[in-house]
A and B are shown apart, each in its own frame.
Chain A
Amino acid sequence: MDVMPKWAEVILVPLISLLLAAILSGLVILAIGEDPIAAVKLMVKGALGSTYGWGYTLYYATNFMFTGLAVSVAFHARLFNIGGEGQAMMGGLGVALACLFIPWPHWTLALLGAIVLAGAFGAIWAAIPAYLQAKRGSHIVITTIMFNFIAAAVLNYMLVNVLRPQGSMDPATARFPEVVHLPTLHDILGMVGISFSKAAPANVSLLVAMIACILVWLLIWRTKLGYEIRAYGHSESAAKYAGISPVKITMIAMIISGGLAGMMAINNVMGEAERLVLNATEGAGFIGIAVALMGRSHPLGVFVAAILFGFLYQGGAELALWTSIPRELIVVIQALVILFTGALDNMVRMPLERIFLALRKGNV
């Protein structure tokens, strides 16, 4: 029997883990001679205190939703896709090609086209390691990591030698045409009369990410394919018995995973930068792993975790801006959150289980 009620499992455990991470982070801030309370206030104010802050928090969160979903889908097939970073870079290339070389009549069509191309590029980038895993047994963790480097090199080459406009010193593409600019939250919320910061980069991609969360949920828990993916993830031998092809599931799960990671580019490349620059992904592919871990590979969990990490990103940037707390420390705090919510899960879970057990015995 399950020892804990579901609400404790889903809400209480991560909440306590977070609290522990926060306390430890506070101690670290204290140790370098800063005031942790003030730091928290600053982070909350910077990330959530204004529509400008929210705009950035949600912008980052959008990236993390895509990459978090990507890692989750692969993880349900027990495949550890470390290559979200590279797949997102290739997705960026897809978006750039879509926006620069196709004359779109309207941004909606451009968005659809960009989603398809970004997804396709990310998917291809994931399909190669998937094929190597499925057919040759090359470990997918190793190959996806290597493909991150290859993607960075490909992007470098493309930007410097192919896509850089004549005479530009900057290894980046030209600006995308005006017509493909995506509406920001300022534009969207303005239509219903809510004022939102004009400077913040959060855009319509957030809605795409949210739709992706719902679709992934449907895929994993309501379709035959999702059923097969989870079955394969739980037990390869049982999957074989049932007639589920390991090769097929490995390929499909990774293609979906890579596609989702690639789609992140509609947010950072099309929505924010409006051109493709070097290192556009800024590590979001890796944060996706932490987001999936914390969200327990469930789309709702990924959604919440992505917003939390968006908050940490934006709040951290504010801290670095206004205090003498160095930027590196923000990374420490993020690492603590990952450590407590992901790796040290059992540390919180086991005592909690014992408490619930004692409570139940008391009731009987």
Chain B
Amino acid sequence: MSTAEPAIELKGISKAFGPVQANKDISIRVMPGTIHGIIGENGAGKSTLMSILYGFYKADKGEIFISGKKTEIPDSQAAISAGIGMVFQHFKLVENFTVLENIILGAEDGWLLKPSLAKARKSLIDLAAEYELNVDPDALIEEIGVGMQQRVEILKALYRQADILILDEPTGVLTPSEADQLFRILGRLREEGKTIILITHKLREIMETTDTVSVMRRGEMTATVKTADTSPEELAELMVGRKVLLRVDKKPPQVGEVVLNVENLRVVDEQGVERLKSISLNVRAGEILGIAGVAGNGQSELLEVLGGYADGTGTVTLNGETIDLTGKHSDGKSRRARGIAHVPEDRQREGLIMDYTAWENTAFGYHHDPAYQSGILINNAAIRKDTEEKMERFDVRPPNPRLTAKNFSGGNQQKIVLAREIERNPDLLLIGQPTRGVDIGAIEFIHKQIVALRDQGKAILLVSVELEEILSLADRVAVMFDGNIMGERAVGDTDEKELGLLMAGVET
């Protein structure tokens, strides 16, 4: 293998966006027939690097060699002809086209579709046999599952004769078993001599699937090592630049009375689709109930209706008192007044006003607080002072209340939201995807805060698509699938495999 030319070699790639140096002098060699992982925190420059390789951005400096030959990649067309295929995090498929139609889209041979389709059908059968990539060519994209859609993306690349496959966070939307299938397919592709670049922030995937791994931090390549020679702890340290605690330290829960009780909660959206079908659950004081599930199975609706900005039917009580699910007393304001705080799933669309300053965001939702008023006017100085203190306690960096929310990193934005909600001393905290898009260093801090709130005897409802996060934080876990709760387990009595089956809708 040492005599072979690398499939891809990047030499001294640099790219700046304005004052931000997204990639700094990056060099990397990927040997053919290997799976090469690229790991790094959000904003470390992984996606920028791959976008350069796929012709979306042009590097300021540096050279790209494909199979030893210097190659210019000015656009994605050039990348495809150089044998590079890309599977994006968000699929680029036409929902109401069939699998076959999606595969030839953009690669039609002539004016008439029929010959192209016939040819594609034949090569699809060949590819399926060769790589164990079975899909129904005539199924509509909108009717097949996410895992299948991803296969179609891979087939699209292979149909275009890709020898090098780049996958950007491929498991973000998959159940654990779908992810396992994906990794089996990748292994098969490697056996057939394809080269695979896997971009991810999940250490486990890197350890399980890759041959070599490169770590990126702040636009620089900090290390490239053989996967067999490293450990998750070492990789985490390389990513963050300091030692990281991967497990959450917590005491056994001191469980109290039932705080939140939900019975037969049902939510129908504006299109008339039933998003929640008779959900029942409860959360007691001093415990964290984790809601696991693949994104889009009703978790968002559950948070929205409990948070007061979606209507529902059923019975919900907080400390024994009924909460309105429709009408005038069902909004975020009245929920807060009842002692429900909410860290929403999407902090950029819901939790924060991105164009508001940190102090304006700290008052967000609590702007009726008498402490923030002076007469009929808002007391800006009081809010700023309060924000400054909260920023200090939650280690928000930079600790400047006058800075606009969009100028903070994802982790610091999340800390602003957390500080606002947790410091209100709520009876119940709803928290969705607490660490999505948050760097590892901040994850540690955020997890500690959530556990600390639990230990103060508060009830916490945690929704996350990261099973690992649920397993390390929650005391009990309920799995949602298709608007139902498939099952509830104590965290100590279950494992990823069982939860994975529940997430896929299989009764266990």
A contact residues vs B (CB 8 Å cutoff): 1-3, 218, 222-224, 227-228, 230-231, 234-235, 237-238, 240-245, 357, 360-361
Contact = CB atoms under 8 A, between A and B. Distances in A.
Interface stretch (B90-98, B372-380, B478-486): B372-380
Given A231-B364, A245-B331, A357-B18, A238 B350 contact: yes
Which of A241, A245, A360, A361 counts the most B-chain CB atoms under 10 A from its CB?
A: A241
Contacts of B335: 243
B333 A242 contact: yes
Contacts of B368: 224
Contact of B336 (A223, A234, A243): A243
Given A224-B378, A240-B350, A244-B333, 10 more contacts: A227-B363, A237-B350, A238-B350, A238-B351, A238-B353, A242-B333, A242-B367, A243-B335, A243-B365, A245-B331
A238 B352 contact: yes
Nearest to B376: A223
Contacts of B380: 222
A238 B18 contact: no
B342 interface: yes
A234 B356 contact: yes
A218 B377 contact: yes
Interface in B279-315: 307-309
24 contacts: A1-B19, A1-B407, A222-B377, A222-B380, A223-B378, A224-B368, A227-B378, A231-B356, A234-B353, A237-B349, A238-B351, A238-B352, A241-B309, A241-B332, A241-B342, A241-B351, A241-B365, A242-B365, A243-B308, A243-B331, A243-B336, A244-B332, A357-B18, A360-B19
A243 B331 CA distance: 5
Nearest to B337: A243
Interface of B: 18-19, 307-309, 331-336, 342, 344, 346, 349-356, 360, 363-365, 367-368, 373, 376-378, 380, 404, 407
A227 B342 contact: no
Given A235-B354, A237-B349, A242 B364 contact: yes
Contacts of B333: 242-244
Contact of A243 (B332, B349, B378): B332
B307 A241 contact: yes
A240 B332 contact: yes
A190 B380 CA distance: 41
Q: Can you list the 5 inter-chain pairs with the closest CB atoms, starting with the nearest?
A: A243-B332, A243-B333, A242-B365, A241-B350, A243-B331
Contacts of B378: 222-224, 227
A240 B355 contact: no
B367 A228 contact: yes
B14 to A, nearest CB: 16
B423 to A, nearest CB: 16
A206 B212 CA distance: 74
Nearest to B347: A238
Which of A222, A223, A237, A238 counts the most B-chain CB atoms under 10 A from its CB?
A: A238
A254 B19 CA distance: 41
Given A223-B377, A224-B368, A243-B365, A231 B353 contact: yes
A63 to B, nearest CB: 29
A224 B349 contact: no
Nearest to B365: A242
Contacts of A1: 19, 407
